[in-house]
Amino acid sequence: MSDLPLRSQLAVALGRTAAKMSRLAGRGDGSVIGGRIGLRLDPELLTRLAKDRKLVLVSATNGKTTTTRLITSAMTPLGEVATNAFGANMPTGHVSALASAPGAHYGVLECDEKYVPMVLRETGANVVALMNLSRDQMDRAAEIWLLAGKWRRALEASPQSHVIANCDDPLVTWGASTAKSVTWVAAGQHWREDSWCCPECGGPLDRRDTEEDSDWACRQCHFRRPRPDWTLKGDQITDPQGRVFPLTGLSLPGRANRSNALVALAVVAQFGVPPEQALPLLAQVTSVAGRYTTVEHQGRTMRLLLSKNPAGWLEAFDVLQPAPGPVALSINAQGPDGRDTSWLWDVDYRILRGRPVWVTGERRVDLAARLEAAEVSFTVVDDIDQAVMSVPPGHLDIIANYTAFQSIRTRYGRVV
Amino acid sequence: MSSDRIKIVWIYPDLLSTYGDQGNTIVLERRAALRGIPTQTVSLRSDEPVPADGDIYLLGGGEDRPQILAAQRLRGDGGLARAVQSGAVVFAVCAGYQLLGHEFGGEEGQPVQGLGLLDIRSTRGEQRAVGEIVGDVAAELNVPRITGFENHQGVTHLGPNARPFAQVVHGVGNGDGFEGAYRGRVLGTYMHGPALVRNPGLADLLLRWAVGRDLQPIDDSWAGRLREERLNAVMG
Ligand SMILES: [Zn+2]
């Protein structure tokens, strides 16, 4: 840090001041504005800040914030770790994260899928973790086949980067397979509607799932699932040496988080942290940026779940209280949510039949039309308070998309 | 209708289903069921032959590469063209709409041969059209004002044998003030994804074409509220 050129030091200092002022003004954690000012003064700032550090980039459509958090926790034995814990996952956020931890030799950076090539080029990250690609809000996200192609070119041009990739996701496998060295992790794939075709040749993919294993291969070309180095079966993890560990103490719920934990173990093993040391550190993560948090209000215990796209809804459904536990759903369509609600029709809501369901958010009418078509009974309310006060005291699961989630979090306390 | 039920064929969801396209199938099934008309839906993967006995064929949206693959396979198969000749209903959105035409623009803007089932040609435009779209439908179709969401970079030119589906009131559509195209019972639109959700009148047009008679009215309250809300959001 002290060997940064003067201009860069100034850029960091001004960025930090701006971030602090933004925080004082109550506008989030300030990392985006701080990074933006820093980059404007010194466009090379990210490269300079990344120099001489060991960096991990974490990218996926879903689970990148959580996995970043898990990896960061498991890397604490190595010393201070810089990270963008608040989901500011573009270069401005990366600059902030690195600038605010000048002494950290390690960094774990959540990276927006589209920015992987650019951030890889500027930081030369040592490890890149790639987990899943699925349809996301298309008015803001890129087309995923195109995106995976860009990952391929970026990784080919970055031979020093070691990749940890989920071989159960065919598109991620294709995106990662130009890397010089890859650790394949069988982290599972629950949403499959975007991977029926071979990314290499467009031919049909044949998929086979048994209790023991899940496999896929193209019917027309050589492209097939690589042999995994790490596997997860139920709660049993097997590492590349064939050692088996139970993944039982995890505090975060659901199969998606077990997958995230497996990826985290593979990443930190790359830095010499063995699973037996990493597992208790993963267990210490109880909530991530308010997700999975439980908040108490008027005798109701509410659990907040964030779901931004169809694959995310599958993950949320997986951790619901058993039926007939009540559920409140809140949907907005502001910029960060995607302004188009078409994706609601990719989610199979029939799983909510037989529960009391409350519907709210700015696009509650879209959701009502969707649930009606799925023959799910529901009650539409004007705001989340009405839903909360309508359920009897006890547990309530709340699933919301991005801005809806943030407003509920603000309403009931910003627990991190 | 070949028998006492409507057969819906959802063409290639493995290639053409980027974003809520399943909604059109669900809406047709449900609106038929509420009138006591049974339906059978086939989700047809792109390695399977297109059945000739469908009543309604649905094509969804897709990325560039899947769109090109879908066009190649459908041309090679020939089943959809035969179904159209025998009077089947086709409803296609976005990438599916473009590939019904003579040609469309590929990844690099190169022309790719389509199915030629609609007299249209599409190219890649300068700018991506993203946002709400509203249009007034050709009078002879007797469908109320349409509301949808478009997200595409296509520009579509209609030949003499295709008619514009709607006149654009808000949004971009084909790029010349009109939106979509139809000929006979083959209809395409740039309203992407679950276009029938907000447009129950259009869903009923497809069902009417399939069964060959008028349909009794059904409770549209949520779809109606959604329509109204979206139209108000755009038109003020
Ligand atoms: Zn292949």
Number of structural domains found in chain B: 1
Q: Tell me which residues of B are annotated as active site.
A: 94, 192
Q: What is the pLDDT of residue B83?
A: 97
Q: State the pTM of this model.
A: 0.89
Q: Which CATH number belongs to the domain containing residue A236 in this structure?
A: 3.40.1190.10
Contact across the interface for B63 and A143, Cβ inside 8 Å: yes
Domain that holds residue A275: 32-283
Q: Write the pLDDT tens digit of every residue in A116-133.
A: 999 999 999 999 999 999
Q: What is the pLDDT of residue A287?
A: 84
| Residue ranges in chain B modelled with pLDDT below 70 | 1-3
**Stretch A275-292: mean pLDDT:** 91
| Residues paired with residue B159 on neighbouring β-strands, in sequence order | none
Which of A283, A307, A340 finishes a domain?
Answer: A283
Which of A263, A283, A303 finishes a domain?
Answer: A283
Q: What is the pLDDT of residue A28?
A: 62
Domain check: are A335 and A278 in the same one? no
* Percent over 70 (pLDDT), chain A: 94
Q: What is the pLDDT of residue A416?
A: 41
The answer on pLDDT for A63 being more than 80 is yes
Q: What is the pLDDT of residue A13?
A: 82
Q: What is the pLDDT of residue A34?
A: 78
Q: Write the pLDDT tens digit of every residue in A213-226.
A: 789 999 999 999 99
Q: For residue A340, which of A380, A379, A309 has the smallest C-alpha distance?
A: A309
Lowest mean pLDDT among A44-48, A302-306, B9-13, B107-111: B107-111
- Cα distance between residue A227 and residue A232, in whole Å: 13
- Cα distance between residue B234 and residue B198, in whole Å: 14
Q: What is the pLDDT of residue A187?
A: 94
Number of structural domains found in chain A: 2
Per the listing, tokens 């049993």 go with A236
**Stretch A236-256: mean pLDDT:** 93
Contact across the interface for B229 and A365, Cβ inside 8 Å: yes
Closest residue in A to B23 (Cα) is A345
Instruction: Please tell me which of the candidates B14, B18, B23 has its beta carbon nearest to residue A135.
Output: B18
Per the listing, tokens 């790029």 go with B175
Domain that holds residue B130: 6-235
Q: Write the pLDDT tens digit of every residue in A139-192.
A: 555 688 889 999 999 999 999 999 999 999 999 999 999 999 999 999 999 888
Is A20 inside a domain boundary?
no
Q: Which CATH number belongs to the domain containing residue B181 in this structure?
A: 3.40.50.880
For residue B17, the distance in angstroms to the closest alpha carbon of chain A comes to 8
For residue B60, the distance in angstroms to the closest alpha carbon of chain A comes to 12
Is A18 inside a domain boundary?
no
Domain check: are A237 and A277 in the same one? yes
| Average pLDDT for chain A | 91
Domain check: are A101 and A232 in the same one? yes
ipTM entry: 0.96
Q: Which residues of B touch A196 (CB under 8 A)?
A: 13-14, 45
Domain check: are A352 and A262 in the same one? no
**Stretch A305-334: mean pLDDT:** 93
Q: Write the pLDDT tens digit of every residue in B76-99.
A: 999 999 999 999 999 999 999 999
Q: Which residues of A touch B (CB under 8 A)?
A: 135, 138-139, 143-146, 193, 196-197, 202-204, 219, 339-340, 342-346, 365-366, 368-370, 372-374
Q: Which among B11, B14, B19 is the top mutation candidate for probing chain A, defined by the most A β-carbons within 10 Å of its own β-carbon?
A: B19
Q: For residue A72, which of A232, A253, A224, A278 has the smallest C-alpha distance?
A: A278
For residue B161, the distance in angstroms to the closest alpha carbon of chain A comes to 31
Cβ neighbours of residue A296 closer than 8 Å, sequence gap 6 or more: A302
